[in-house]
Amino acid sequence: MSATAIILLSLVALVLAFVVFFVVRRRTSGGPQARRAETAAPPERPRRSLGEALRRVFASGRVDAGFWEALEEALVAADVGVSASAEIVDRVRASKPADPDDARRALTEEMLAVFAGSDRTLRLDGRPAVVMVVGVNGVGKTTSIAKLAARLRTEGKTPLLGAADTFRAAADSQLRTWADRVGVEMVGGQPGADPAAVAFDAFSAARARGRDVVIVDTAGRLHSKQNLMAELEKIRRVLVREAGRIDEVLLVLDATAGQNGIVQARQFAEAVGVTGVILTKLDGTARGGIVVAVENELGIPVKLVGVGEGLDDLVPFEPEAFVKALLADA
């Protein structure tokens, strides 16, 4: 073999060695994505429950200015809301607790007082009764409607679903899938059809077929879109004209929405007169204080809560059990 050939072979071998070295190094180090991950911000700290925060407050052993400030901060952090938190703390403070244990008992009483006197029953007096369900995108509205229908069936009622969400192409098929699963009828419309017309058809079908309840789904809209809120008002007017009244206007809220949920509730209440709240994803957050804020600031009763994915995981809201769970770690 000539000297030139030997040199060329040596160069090729050297190049191959460098290639193998860099490939192995890249694989073992995870490549650019792994190196970027190392410099990325750490994951958000897990949410702590209100009870855990209160435990630290009550552990101070004294009731002073710092105690009241920390108590209010803990309530605000649990999504109870600035206004509601301040009012509750003021009332607890006015009771002049002698020690943190007294303050804990007074706090429980004041939180229960927020829920006192509210009618949490579903009013279904019409024949058929009319239930209109509203809420923004992604809160679990369609599944809540299915769970409500399943619950009504177990009570011996015959619900019919109206798919008045014609804005989203897949909404009709999704609600129909749920209707089939629950074993109830559904009336829908073509994509882009007038939602009020679909609501009218659903009510007419329920009345003609002798069904007990018609549950009208509406588009999951942003509360800030005035034209879409006007559409809701039109649906309401049509249903009131045909039925004489709407038995329930239920707003579906996500328990993880925080204070944005209060904004949503206020806007929907002004547009269509919300009569009750279905709170979803309460099992997935330690910050369920939005329930307190909704009732304290808006006077709208929470009637049902979603606590899981199953069809039977929509249950009546029980204030005593809720407050006990919210303060469980305190």
Lowest mean pLDDT among 22-36, 89-103, 138-152, 156-170: 22-36
Mean pLDDT of 11-38: 40
Please give the DSSP secondary-structure letter assigned to residue 304. E
Question: Can you tell me the distance from the alpha carbon of 122 to that of 151, in angstroms, rounded to the nearest whole number?
Answer: 12
Q: In the chain, where are the structural domains located?
A: 3-33, 50-115, 129-326
**For residue 1, what pLDDT is reported?**
54
**For residue 186, what pLDDT is reported?**
97
Lowest mean pLDDT among 27-31, 65-69, 218-222, 298-302: 27-31
pLDDT digits (tens, 9 = 90+) for 10-22: 544 544 554 444 4
Mean pLDDT of 67-75: 93
- Architecture of the domain made up of 50-115: Up-down Bundle (1.20)
Share of the chain above pLDDT 70, in %: 81
**For residue 4, what pLDDT is reported?**
52
Q: Specify the pTM.
A: 0.80
- pLDDT at 6 exceeding the cut of 80: no
Mean pLDDT of 93-108: 93
- pLDDT at 195 exceeding the cut of 60: yes
Q: Please spell the DSSP secondary structure of 271-291, one letter per residue.
A: HH---EEEEE-GGG-S-TTHH
**For residue 29, what pLDDT is reported?**
39
pLDDT digits (tens, 9 = 90+) for 302-326: 999 988 888 999 999 999 988 887 7
Question: Can you tell me the distance from the alpha carbon of 291 to that of 300, in angstroms, rounded to the nearest whole number?
Answer: 10
Identical fold between 50-115 and 129-326: no
Mean pLDDT of the chain: 82
Give the contacts of 179 (CB within 8 A, at least 6 positions apart).
Answer: 146, 149, 161, 185, 186
Lowest mean pLDDT among 77-86, 93-102, 115-124, 236-245: 77-86
- pLDDT at 38 exceeding the cut of 50: no
pLDDT category of residue 274 using cuts at 50, 70 and 90: very high
**For residue 90, what pLDDT is reported?**
96
CATH fold of 129-326:
Rossmann fold (3.40.50)
